[in-house]
Amino acid sequence: LTDMEKSEGRQTGKKVVAVVGGGLVGALNACYFAKRGFNVHVYESREDIRKAKIVKGRSINLALSHRGRQALKRVGMEDKIISKGIPMHARMIHSLSGKQSPIPYGKKGQYILSVDRANLNKELLTEAETYPNTKLNFDHKLQDWSADTGLMTFSRTDGSKDQIHADLIVGCDGAFSAIRKQFLRRSRFNYSQTYIPHGYMELTMPPINGEFAMKPNYLHIWPRNTFMMIALPNLDKTFTCTLFMPFEDFEKITTGDEVIQFFQNYFPDTIPLIGAEALKKDYFRLPAQAMVSVKCTPYHIGEKCVLMGDAAHAVVPFYGQGMNAGFEDCIVFDELMEQFNEDFSAVLPEYTKVRVPDDHAIADLAMYNYVEMRAHVNSKWFLFRKHVDNV
């Protein structure tokens, strides 16, 4: 969108939309509401990640797919993001003996993209800020809010508190959403959360002689039935390897030598690529992280509040669709805004109605792919079927 188009979007007297959470979905959503001319305020608990030295958060990179790209396109961000993405045309399955076999994701020419999470988040925040009717407020952690009045209370790191009013509150504050807490107190709100027994740990595979250590245009997978490792390429020619394994197995490994022994048994081809010394250190740098799946319904309260992204539907990462589904939430909501003339009292219930079944389906597929990636992808039956499919 040109600056002119963005300025034209500004209309004084338009309603105030508070987007709580300036992560991936919140930052993109801010662009969608700003484009419609609302007075948009984003409240993010962290400091501005564009200025921070260390950005804390989850996975270093992510797979961006078609539905996510469509959502970026509508706010003019697709080209900017894909120019910094690395196409992955196929999974590359690493057998125990080190043999590599590609399994394409789709037809020839189709691919998903490995993108840097921090860069994507920064670009979306910068884009949101180019709208004159958007204000980003960092160091604002939502403490509480009222579904009756729309009054929100934020705490700051200096101990002060801010009270702010909005016409519409959009909860994009992630899997442990503070906005969602109010929903839990209400009658007829269904909610479930499940922690899977697996945790994840990220390890870096550095470049070798300035080049990628493995073929870059693949999502590498080492399926080992009850656990697995994957690796996605980064622009700096490193790979981020993610080891998914039951917590109890992570905990069994307590010394550097045990790490090497474990890798020798299950991922021998990666030891020279990651480096034995680095592996011994990296493994103990951070504890394995938990993964949670959250399902709930409805996604809205009256005409006052709506949940999107992980706040509405945190999914396990095995389908690579958490962010993509969250981005698609923004499109669906925007289309309903068009259809119902921005009447929140009509848009919000309809959003719940059309979106809950699809998001719940993604959550189920992700849970299914949890087994598919570490086990079925390994089975003779699967490889046979893929072989037949490809012929």
Out of 123, 127, 173, 359, the residue judged to bind ligand FAD by CB under 6 A: 173
Give the nearest distance from C-beta 19 to ligand FAD in angstroms.
10
Q: Output the CA torsion 318→366→58→35 (10° steps).
A: 120
Question: C-alpha angle with apex 386: 381 to 391, nearest 5 degrees?
Answer: 130
Applying the rule CB under 6 A, the residues between 199 and 238 that interact with ligand FAD are 200
* CA gap 312, 328 in Å, rounded: 13
Q: Is 178 in the site for ligand FAD (CB under 6 A)?
A: yes
Out of 199, 320, 355, 369, the residue judged to bind ligand FAD by CB under 6 A: 320
Out of 14, 15, 46, 135, the residue judged to bind ligand FAD by CB under 6 A: 46
Q: How far apart are the first and last CA of the chain?
A: 44
Q: Is 323 in the site for ligand FAD (CB under 6 A)?
A: yes
Q: Is 373 in the site for ligand FAD (CB under 6 A)?
A: no
**Strand 168-171 vs strand 305-307: parallel, antiparallel, or unpaired?**
parallel
* CA gap 389, 384 in Å, rounded: 9
Nearer to ligand FAD, 196 or 276 (CB): 196
Interface with ligand FAD (CB under 6 A), residue total 33
Contact 118, 126 (CB under 8 A): no
Nearer to ligand FAD, 133 or 321 (CB): 321
Q: Is 172 in the site for ligand FAD (CB under 6 A)?
A: yes
Nearer to ligand FAD, 53 or 380 (CB): 53
* CA gap 57, 70 in Å, rounded: 25
Name the token pair of 13.
């007297």
* CA gap 245, 157 in Å, rounded: 36
Q: Is 363 in the site for ligand FAD (CB under 6 A)?
A: no
* CA gap 339, 166 in Å, rounded: 23
* CA gap 287, 355 in Å, rounded: 35
Candidates 1-9, 57-65, 156-164, 340-348: pick the segment binding ligand FAD (CB under 6 A).
57-65
Q: Please list the alpha-helical segments (H only) found in the chain.
A: 3-8, 24-35, 66-73, 78-82, 117-129, 179-184, 247-252, 256-266, 271-274, 276-285, 310-313, 322-339, 344-374, 380-390
Q: Is 136 in the site for ligand FAD (CB under 6 A)?
A: no
Q: Is 62 in the site for ligand FAD (CB under 6 A)?
A: yes
Q: φ and ψ at 130, to 5 degrees?
A: -75, -15
Question: C-alpha angle with apex 14: 10 to 17, nearest 5 degrees?
Answer: 100
Out of 17, 18, 19, 25, the residue judged to bind ligand FAD by CB under 6 A: 25
Applying the rule CB under 6 A, the residues between 65 and 94 that interact with ligand FAD are none
What is the number of the residue whose Cβ is closest to ligand FAD?
Answer: 23
Q: Is 44 in the site for ligand FAD (CB under 6 A)?
A: yes
Q: Is 124 in the site for ligand FAD (CB under 6 A)?
A: no
Q: Output the CA torsion 104→106→109→111 (10° steps).
A: -80
Nearer to ligand FAD, 105 or 340 (CB): 105
Q: Is 45 in the site for ligand FAD (CB under 6 A)?
A: yes
Q: Is 37 in the site for ligand FAD (CB under 6 A)?
A: no
Strand segments, DSSP code E, in 108-238 are 112-116, 134-137, 141-145, 151-155, 161-165, 168-171, 190-205, 218-223, 228-233
Candidates 86-94, 248-256, 315-323, 351-359: pick the segment binding ligand FAD (CB under 6 A).
315-323
Contact 315, 366 (CB under 8 A): yes
Q: Is 133 in the site for ligand FAD (CB under 6 A)?
A: no
Considering all CA atoms of the chain, what is the largest pairwise distance in Å, rounded to the nearest integer? Answer: 66
Q: Is 156 in the site for ligand FAD (CB under 6 A)?
A: no
Out of 322, 349, 374, 377, the residue judged to bind ligand FAD by CB under 6 A: 322
Out of 32, 33, 38, 43, the residue judged to bind ligand FAD by CB under 6 A: 43
Candidates 5-13, 22-30, 102-110, 266-274: pick the segment binding ligand FAD (CB under 6 A).
22-30
Nearer to ligand FAD, 195 or 384 (CB): 195
Binding site for ligand FAD (CB under 6 A): 20-26, 43-46, 58-59, 62-63, 141-142, 172-174, 178, 200, 242, 309-311, 317, 320-324, 326
